Amino acid sequence: MNKRNWIKVSQDADTGIESIRAHFQGHAYDPHWHDSFLVGVTEHGVQQFNCRRARHYSTPGKVFLLEPGEIHDGHAPTEEGFTYSTLYLDPLWLERELLALFEHAPSNSLPGFADTLSQDPRLAKAVALAFHALHEGDLRMARQAAVDSLLAALTEHLQWRKHQALDPRLPLVAQVARDYLHAHAYEDIGLDDLARACEVDRFRLSRAFKAAFGLAPHAYLIQLRLAKARQLLANGDSPVQVASALGFADQSHLGRWFRRAYQLTPADYRKRCSNLPD
């Protein structure tokens, strides 16, 4: 990591919400995705990132909203870099909380964000207050009140979509490949295995998959493993245990990919989230 960059991580024991405050100059992180909803605010500088097939520029006071699985990267286009605070919301937790807020929530539907960036000052204030309450371990009642205010502000930026087995916007071969990767995420899968499961050749598979998801199949598979690695590390598992359980060649292999995606070593992430000794 660039010596001028820094990152601070915490996790709320009651909700499981992970909070991250970070500063980056130059390249921040490679394309990746999370299995959480991300709600954050840019504090200083210009935060440039690609998501939903568009390039976005988040400046101070803007809120960025990412759904699980949305591929994004990060870069500082100006010399001063950028600082941001973000909350990682577990999808099951968020859905449960939102259903309690919406008396007439659509049946068989999932919540999503209408836009990737927002200039809503009410939402920005709610994000900042919730971040500080959770990240700094405020009184339990204060944390709960801040989270409730955040959820109330988020309701104006949500859209609901029906549960669908298949997304009509994406090629069928890419969706079959994705489902296969999820089902065999910790196995040593080859492109030929994936192509046979999709009943196409490897080249057609790779083109369709990258067009649909923005990553090659092997990079998507790594992201699947990294998402699980975050969970295991936060629960206190050692990097050696995690690397072995998730099919990485060794701890160093896990570490290289983890640093590229999150700008932290697995051991550092574990320590910050679990407060356990290395």
Using CB atoms within 10 Å of the CB of residue 274, give its burial: 0 to 12 exposed, 13 to 18 middle, 19+ buried: middle
More confident residue, 171 or 71: 71
Residue 267 tokens read as 């051991």
CA–CA gap between residue 91 and residue 71 (Å, rounded): 16
Q: How many helices (H) and strands (E) does the chain have?
A: 10, 12
165-183: per-residue pLDDT in tens? 666 667 889 999 999 999 9
CA–CA gap between residue 87 and residue 13 (Å, rounded): 14
The pLDDT value given to residue 164: 64
* 8-12, 42-46, 62-66, 162-166, range with the lowest pLDDT: 162-166
Q: Give the pLDDT band (50/70/90) at residue 54.
A: very high
The pLDDT value given to residue 278: 44
The pLDDT value given to residue 161: 76
Q: Is a pLDDT exceeding 50 seen at residue 277?
A: no
CA proximity to 144, closest of 195, 209, 100 = 100
Contact between 120 and 153 (Cβ < 8 Å): yes
213-233: per-residue pLDDT in tens? 888 999 999 999 998 999 899
93-143: per-residue pLDDT in tens? 998 888 887 766 677 677 899 999 999 999 999 999 999 999 999 999 999
DSSP string, 81-135: -EEEEEEEE-HHHHHHHHHHH-TTPPTTEEEEES-SEE--HHHHHHHHHHHHHHH
Chain-wide mean pLDDT for the chain? 90
Q: Is a pLDDT exceeding 80 seen at residue 203?
A: yes
pTM for this prediction: 0.83
What domains can you pick out in the chain, each with its CATH number? 6-162 (2.60.120.10), 172-274 (1.10.10.60)
Contact between 158 and 111 (Cβ < 8 Å): yes
